[in-house]
A and B are shown apart, each in its own frame.
Chain A
Amino acid sequence: MKTLTRERSEELKALCHQFRVETIELLHKLQTGHTGGSLSECEILVTLYMECANITAENQDAPDRDRIILSKGHGAPMLYRCLAEKGFFPVEEMQTLRQVGSRLQGHPNMAKTPGVELSTGPLGMGLSAGNGMACANRLMGNEAYVYVILGDGELDEGTIWEAAMTASKFKNDRLIAIVDWNKVQLDGMSADVMPIGDLAGKWRSFGWNVLECDGHDVDSVYSTIETAKELLNGRPTVILANTIKGKGVSFMENTNKFHGKAITDDEYERAMKELEVLR
């Protein structure tokens, strides 16, 4: 099993902390944007972009680059922060998020934002597009991986399971889905909104390899993604990443209240205090 060096692990952890703080600062300042999901996907995106995926601003047009699709497009703030860190655009541009004329649209737009592989936002569709990319890459002889980050709420959509069947049929073993399994969605707890049941069993029955990890532990995320990359057994792989919606700020955790609501001044101050304590 591949592991991060202790030094690299600490660097990634520090980066995640920094991105959390910056995201809350930004969304508070702008009074718009999805906080909860951005915080839950943080370690997944950071580990993927900074460590596991072959993606740089320089190779963005190279056929053999890896593709990352954020199917849960509302998690755009953390995606954009990662892309800025990779040099796709200046970090200062983050301040234009969701503003008229900005390249950083409310949900990711591949035509406007460098580094965005697919326009997303309508839930349940990223896996289908990832299948298309994986099929096309195989046809071209590209050994690129296609990573699709799914929210667990969007697993309610039937199209996810159409895509799950399709990936299995086409033996897309370079397709790796990562479920940001935070167990909360817009209206409440996923178990109440739409109980998903045996999630691992569902994917297995669709012909997928199923791995699980702690989605907030960069070491666990890293090792699991690297394991998934090496499987290449004719089956697509899903990683069920156990996460906490709103991770990092106690009163934002495990609640639907901060799915997309603006952060008040009071909440902002309390969040910053908590994060400073952690620092």
Chain B
Amino acid sequence: MESTRTGFGHALLEIAQEREDILVTSADTYRSFALGEFVERFPDRYFEFGIAEQCMITASAGMASEGYTVFSVGYSPFLSMRAVEQIRTFCAYTNQNVKIVAGLGGLSGDTDGVTHQGTEDISMIRAIPNMMLVSPADSVAARAMTKMIADIRTPVYLRLGRGATPIIYDEDQTFELGKALTARDYGTDAAILATGYCVGEAMKAADALKEQGVGVRVLDFHTIKPFDTEAALKACADCGNIVVVEDGSIYGGLAGAVAETFVENGAAPKKFKRLGLTTFGTTGTVPQLAEFFGLDRKALEKTVKDMIG
């Protein structure tokens, strides 16, 4: 178990040792992102803005316009909503090299409740041109993808969680930005398309279903934008039964991206089910919330079984 924030923080420290162009801006949040050592070792490259996300994001764009690669850390609801205009206009419209690093993505704000849960962030950020949206499923993925986004010079929204979550990938797992990862490929009875925390639940469901003779493919959409159209269409063609699962709003979220892709390309799934939020969240631990909103292994197992009759 490890938080995706920890994976990010460790990766950034590694990168910063080799690259002087890496800056960190913080909204009173650097300790939450395991950046204590970064700040200690590179005090000149750390800028603390206090609890002022809009100011931080805009200043980060100013730093990026001078040639720096700026990782701006804060919490998903306050970055993706309070500072969304600053992300859109000063980072994306201007195509600045700012990495918006958002903890508390999806339901990971857990017991703090709705105010601290970034359950609309995918929908908000997806609509913005020039933005890449990356949503790693575990700490291993977060570490790898932090390094990958540091190497591109465009704005990126990195959607992270909060607490420790299961490690689902081996240390040597490789990822490719913009390409969904096939996390399980046990057959073509159904495909589960997932992102973030829900990928682990989907893998567990696939493992359990395999024992029951049901073959499921699990795709990890760690990059939601640009969207891997090809993988989604192939899953539809191969498996027919499609389940999309995410710990945020299905409206404009991963489910929205999948549905748009299917319709636009004339792909007709036999059955199509969206598991995610259509309401606000509520207080609870992440596993409790996953169960409450029907996003966990059990819900996925049942959904797939109901689909294949």
Contact = CB atoms under 8 A, between A and B. Distances in A.
Contacts, number: 93
Interface stretch (A29-37, A77-85, A163-171, A252-260): A163-171
B-side binding surface: helix, strand, loop or mixed? helix
Contacts of B128: none
Given A111-B95, A118-B65, A133-B63, A128 B55 contact: yes
Interface in A90-135: 109-111, 117-119, 121-122, 125, 128-135
Interface residues of A, number: 27
Interface string B42-55: 00110101101011
A140 interface: yes
Contacts of B23: 136, 139
A118 B66 CA distance: 11
Nearest to B54: A159
A55 to B, nearest CB: 15
B63 A162 contact: no
Interface string A131-173: 1111111011000000000000000000100110110001000
Contact of A132 (B60, B85, B93, B95): B60
Contact of B54 (A136, A162, A170): A162
B47 A111 contact: no
With a 10 A CB-CB cut-off, give which of A111, A128, A132, A163 has the most chain B CB atoms: A132
Contacts of A129: 58-59, 61-62, 65, 90
A140 B66 contact: yes
A110 B66 CA distance: 13
Nearest to B66: A136
Contacts of A117: 65
A34 to B, nearest CB: 18
A146 B44 CA distance: 20
A144 to B, nearest CB: 9
Nearest to B25: A132
Given A159-B58, A170-B47, A132 B63 contact: yes
A121 B89 CA distance: 9
B59 A132 contact: yes
A117 B85 CA distance: 19
A159 B66 contact: no
B47 A163 contact: no
A131 B66 contact: no
B272 interface: no
B62 A133 contact: yes
A111 B95 CA distance: 9
A99 B44 CA distance: 44
A163 B58 CA distance: 10
Contact of B55 (A122, A135, A166): A166
Contacts of A170: 47
Contacts of B66: 132-133, 136-137, 140
A140 B65 CA distance: 13
A140 B86 CA distance: 25
A165 B50 contact: yes
B68 interface: yes
A130 B54 CA distance: 14
A205 B62 CA distance: 25
Contacts of B49: 162, 166
Contact of B62 (A121, A131, A165): A131
B61 to A, nearest CB: 6
B94 interface: yes
Contacts of A121: 89
B257 to A, nearest CB: 27
Nearest to A132: B62
B45 A110 contact: no
A49 B23 CA distance: 31
Interface of A: 109-111, 117-119, 121-122, 125, 128-137, 139-140, 159, 162-163, 165-166, 170
Given A132-B60, A132-B62, A163-B59, 9 more contacts: A118-B62, A119-B89, A128-B58, A129-B65, A130-B62, A132-B64, A135-B47, A163-B58, A170-B47
**What are the 10 tightest A-B residue pairs by CB atom distance, in nearest-first order?**
A132-B62, A132-B59, A128-B58, A136-B66, A162-B55, A129-B62, A162-B52, A132-B63, A133-B62, A136-B63
